[in-house]
Amino acid sequence: MQATDLYTSVKDDFTAVDAAIIEHLSSQVPLVEKIGQYIIQSGGKRLRPLLVLLAARACGYQKDQHITLAVVVEFIHTATLLHDDVVDTSDLRRGKPTANNKWGNSSSVLVGDFLYSRAFQLLVAIGQVDVMDTLSNATNVIAEGEVLQLLNAKNPDVSEADYLHVILGKTAMLFEAASQTGAQLAHASTEQVDALRRFGRHLGIAFQLIDDLMDYAGNEATMGKNVGDDLAEGKPTLPLIHAMACATDDERTLIRQSIRQGSCEHINEIQAILIRCGSLDYTRARASQETQDALACLKIIEDSAYKKSLIDLCTLALARQN
């Protein structure tokens, strides 16, 4: 199965989303459009808007406001990327220079703010209170997750529970909100809405776990970013947290110092420690369990091509290389 197969059931919807994104990026300030189009067109998979479309259609939605809702979710996601790259001082995303690398931090932050505000303009136009409530709460949790990650940076004492709390807010929350609001838009039953909310949460956690694993086991050309970027930013992710629990004293000291210093100087040694301790396998196993939990949530959803695509998303979340 190819990643492109995921989009087949909503091919026309996805084409409409692409057109709507360009339409709603319009601004009287040319730089806003330029930066917005640059980041949105830089090769992302658009999984979050895909979740909106699939969840809505899987719950029988027949109208067209799911297109606008998908744009809202993509704009929120893109805003977080712009802000993240400034906070992380990143130079590369998806194999291309980051917006802050090309236009500076100030422009990136302000265009991120524009995308947030445009997203909520569109959300108001949809006019469904439960959808507004879900996404407004989600953006607040996402912001808290980003702050928590910042506070945890260069702290080797972060626990696995602390780490999971961060990725729940930073990544999983928007997956959760995307699938939940798709169901809400379709006026699905309370049970279906909750099932798709939990599906998005588990999928989002799995997605981030694999992302953190690839930082030590991925291919730079395929990922579009540097191996060891998380270590260079002093991020105590699950592979490191697990390794520190079973490494030798000298190995543990090396990892702790590298996190504190935000240094990739010993990346090769640390990769070897992760392999010896089974930390990469442990992280993948945790991600696999999350996808199994996500699949269990779909039992209440009627069989359809849209449900099949949601199931396939779980498979690809584990197998992805970028």
> Amino acid letter at 78?
T
> How many domains is the chain built from?
1
How many residues are present in the chain? 322
Separation between Cα atoms, residue 181 and residue 132, nearest integer Å: 9
The pLDDT value recorded for residue 239 is 97
The whole domain housing 135 covers 3-319
Q: Look at residue 220 in the predicted model and tell me its pLDDT.
A: 61
18 Cβ contact partners less than 8 Å away, ≥ 6 residues apart: none
> Closest by alpha carbon to 13, among 47, 74, 57, 44?
57
- In whole angstroms, how large is the CA radius of gyration of the chain? 19
Torsion sign, CA atoms 276, 277, 278, 284: negative
C-alpha angle 188-77-4 in degrees, rounded to nearest 5: 75
Q: Is the dihedral of CA 263, 264, 267, 271 positive or negative?
A: positive
* Nearest Cα to Cα of residue 178 among 99, 112, 88, 80: 80
* Contact indicator for 160, 264 with CB cutoff of 8 Å: no
Predicted local confidence at residue 199, as pLDDT: 98
In whole angstroms, give the CA distance from residue 71 to residue 131. Answer: 14
Among residues 280, 286, 237, 279, the alpha carbon closest in space to that of 258 is found at 237
CATH number of the domain encompassing residue 251: 1.10.600.10
* pLDDT means over runs of 10, the chain (322 residues): 75 93 88 81 84 98 97 94 78 74 83 92 96 96 91 94 94 97 98 98 97 85 68 94 96 97 93 96 97 98 96 91 66
DSSP string, 5-30: GGGGGGHHHHHHHHHHHHHHT--SSH
Which pLDDT score, from 0 to 100, does residue 43 have? 65
> In the chain, where does DSSP find H-type helix?
11-24, 30-40, 47-58, 65-87, 99-103, 105-126, 129-152, 160-167, 173-185, 190-217, 220-223, 229-232, 238-246, 249-261, 267-276, 279-297, 305-319
Please name the helix (run of DSSP H) or strand (run of DSSP E) that holds residue 154, with its range, or none.
none
pLDDT of residue 224: 54
Three-state SS at 97: strand
